Amino acid sequence: MATTVASKATSKIDLAKIRNIGFIAHIDAGKTTVSERVLFFTGMTHKIGNIDDGTTVMDFMDLERERGITIASAATATEWKNHQVNIIDTPGHVDFTAEVERSLRVLDGGVVIIDAVAGVQPQSETVWRQAERYSVPRMVFVNKMDRAGADFLKAVESLTRRLGANAVPIQLPIGAETDFHGMIDLVEMKAWVYESADAVEAVETPIPADMADEVAAYRANLVEKVSETDEDLLMAYLSDEEIPNEVLATALRTATIHLKVTPVMCGTALKHRGIQPLLDAIVDYLPSPLDVPAVQGTDPADGSELVRQPSVDDPVSVLIFKVVSDQHVGRLIYIRVYSGILETGATLYNPRTRNRERIGRLLRMHADRREEISSAGPGEIVTVIGLKDARTGDTLAANNNRIVLESIEFPEPVLSVAVEPKTRSDQDKMDVALNRLADEDPTLRLSTDEETAQVVLAGMGELHLDVIVERMRREFGLDVNVGNPRVAYRETVTRISEAQGRLVRQTGGHGQFGDCTLRLEPLPVGAGVVFESEITGSTLPREYYRPIEQGAREAAANGVLAGYPVTDIKIVLTDGSYHEVDSSEMAFNVAGSMAFKSAAQRAGMAILEPIMKLEVITPSEFLGDVLADLNSRRSQIQNMVGQNETQVLNAFVPLAETFRYATDLRSRTTGRASFVMSLDHYDKAPRHIADNIAGSGK
């Protein structure tokens, strides 16, 4: 149960001493373990939490502790060397990628954690691309240096090869695997050693003589890579001048912030090694809110561009990036303050709802503990209680200085299940539970099957939907029956077609008249639905274009072949006619829908199925069984790479063929193989599959 510390602290924090950072990585790379050690060494906790024991601070949900994975991102604030460090620990499993997406939207910097044995893994690539999209400066922590097979330099090479990163080691490990006992700081040119197996603090020692040549080479590499980003430093480097450590550190910070260099460090969080140097590097090299570009937005009145500086003198603007339902206080709204001072009791404007929202209480979060504050300034990440209609992605701004900040986009669901309460009396209870969960999770979509009247949950994968159903049981005391998973297919057209939609109805008074002609054209995969008009002159008043588009889009959303949404299509309005008296927006909406359906039936409709990118890591002895199984699932093998006694296999496989894959893979490999799967693209389903889908309907 969460606790609240009532301190009523007022925000008077130096912006230059704030770091908003997130730990992002592939599942099992050690994000939560790193977070727990950071909280311990910064004095936020007095006992180190352990994932295996279920005692972590950041994974505080019962489900997280039982499964040993992070499901929801957790925020906390701590201090290190007079700097406030706001930390978000994100999930690594691909089913919860939306948690990473919304966290990166509000963070200034990121620490990417990779496994010293596995190097860059599939989800590492995903989070790296997300960070690239939001231009988030990042550094890398190579974790688990004490594991058998740990190879720091190989992990660094995988960063360059698989991610295209300009990865520059700023540390070198002393020893590896069971002999890992310290690291060399290539900026300060100091060695730090842990003198015993259970040592928590490192001791400074001379650089080992047998590493002198390697250290000199990697120091030269560091100086060269950083010099390439700084003209003054480059001149000194080319002149063979000695570059002071302070100058190098300043240039490294600038290069990191401008995404030109990615510093790489090492350690093993489970044994507490490398955490303090990591904290030093977060403070030294990752940006403060002053170091990142001012946030941009638009004026909700006219769409003109606006800018908000991270200053207390600018009008207040905040972005909502997460909503959590708390059984004690109601809705907890996580926000990032971008400008101005946000105070308890303030009334802000929400451009999406066009309503005002009052800030009830402000809280600074420490995972599931809360500290009440009276105000928050630019760069701070806090939570608000008291907002009624706000949701993830909304902007709140001063009423007399309105702005809309860029919202957060989430991927479309790929899997759905039907749910119904086990007893009819629980129907209302289920509706409340699902609405609260959907309020928290933007990737969870609710709909009702018109034929069966069942509620359909759509999500990012089997694990995602399993967790939602389990949360309904635990948090709301609700047992439900769950139908078999269903794939989110799509429909598209294969050729150009054109058709007319004409509605003529005469009643006692005004009639209904709408007439339009639409042409449908196929678009490349991923293009979505595009609407254009080719009508010129006064053939049709422009006021009827929007109802025609709405009617066509509504028809596209309900599908033609099997009831799945039509996508990757261009809808072109080519002709139309109207009646001075009888025409209305409703009539043209219906005509647009009629024209779309008619044209679609002539356009050679095809079914698109989601194709998953699959990476399987298996002992070599089971490779034949794994390949045989994948071939039976219509997979396309992309490549296989041998690593010691294991094989890494990459393939594309249709989502419909992946159900129960986890169970089947475990049984074929005696539990020794693992896999990661993520949505890659949509592709046309084979004819016999498409016929089955179209024949069975939605």
pLDDT above 70 for 440? yes
82-91, 103-112, 373-382, 590-599: least confident range: 82-91
pLDDT above 80 for 163? yes
Compute the distance between CA of residue 616 and CA of residue 611 in angstroms, rounded to an integer: 16
Compute the distance between CA of residue 491 and CA of residue 425 in angstroms, rounded to an integer: 38
Q: What pLDDT score does 573 carry?
A: 95
Out of 51-60, 61-70, 354-363, the most confident range is 354-363
pTM of the model: 0.69
Out of 28-32, 214-218, 330-334, 464-468, the most confident range is 214-218
How large a percentage of the chain has pLDDT more than 90?
33
- What phi and psi, each to the nearest 5 degrees, are found at residue 480? -130, 155
* Cα within 13 Å of Cα(609), Cβ side: 24
Q: Could you report the per-residue pLDDT of 83-132, keeping only the tens digit for each?
A: 888 887 666 455 556 667 777 788 899 999 998 988 887 667 777 877 88
Confidence of residue 14 (pLDDT cuts 50, 70, 90): confident
Q: What pLDDT score does 96 carry?
A: 58
Q: What pLDDT score does 4 carry?
A: 40
Confidence of residue 386 (pLDDT cuts 50, 70, 90): confident
For residues 333 and 122, the model is more confident at 333
- Determine the average pLDDT of the residues in 441-445: 83
Q: What pLDDT score does 67 carry?
A: 43
Out of 409-413, 549-553, 645-649, the most confident range is 549-553
Are 291 and 108 within 8 A, CB to CB?
yes
Q: What pLDDT score does 485 carry?
A: 76
Q: Could you report the per-residue pLDDT of 36-47, keeping only the tens digit for each?
A: 888 888 877 655
Q: What pLDDT score does 519 carry?
A: 95
Confidence of residue 250 (pLDDT cuts 50, 70, 90): very high
Q: Taking CA 227 as the corner, what is the angle to CA 226 and CA 229, rounded to the nearest 5 degrees?
A: 70
Confidence of residue 367 (pLDDT cuts 50, 70, 90): low
Are 72 and 96 within 8 A, CB to CB?
yes
Q: What pLDDT score does 539 carry?
A: 81
Mean pLDDT over each residue of the chain, to the nearest integer: 83
Compute the distance between CA of residue 509 and CA of residue 520 in angstroms, rounded to an integer: 35
48-52, 367-371, 567-571, 628-632: least confident range: 48-52
Compute the distance between CA of residue 656 and CA of residue 462 in angstroms, rounded to an integer: 12
How large a percentage of the chain has pLDDT more than 70?
89
Compute the distance between CA of residue 402 and CA of residue 317 in angstroms, rounded to an integer: 8
pLDDT above 60 for 1? no
- Determine the average pLDDT of the residues in 184-199: 90
Compute the distance between CA of residue 23 and CA of residue 696 in angstroms, rounded to an integer: 45
Q: What pLDDT score does 283 carry?
A: 94
For residues 226 and 33, the model is more confident at 226
Helix (H, G, I), strand (E, B) or coil at 217: helix
Q: Which DSSP string corresponds to 69-83? A: S--S-EEEEEEETTE
Q: What pLDDT score does 592 carry?
A: 96
Confidence of residue 140 (pLDDT cuts 50, 70, 90): very high
Strand partners, 482: 419
Q: Taking CA 461 as the corner, what is the angle to CA 685 and CA 141, rounded to the nearest 5 degrees?
A: 115
For residues 39 and 643, the model is more confident at 39
Compute the distance between CA of residue 349 and CA of residue 371 in angstroms, rounded to an integer: 25
Q: What pLDDT score does 65 carry?
A: 41
Q: What pLDDT score does 10 carry?
A: 41
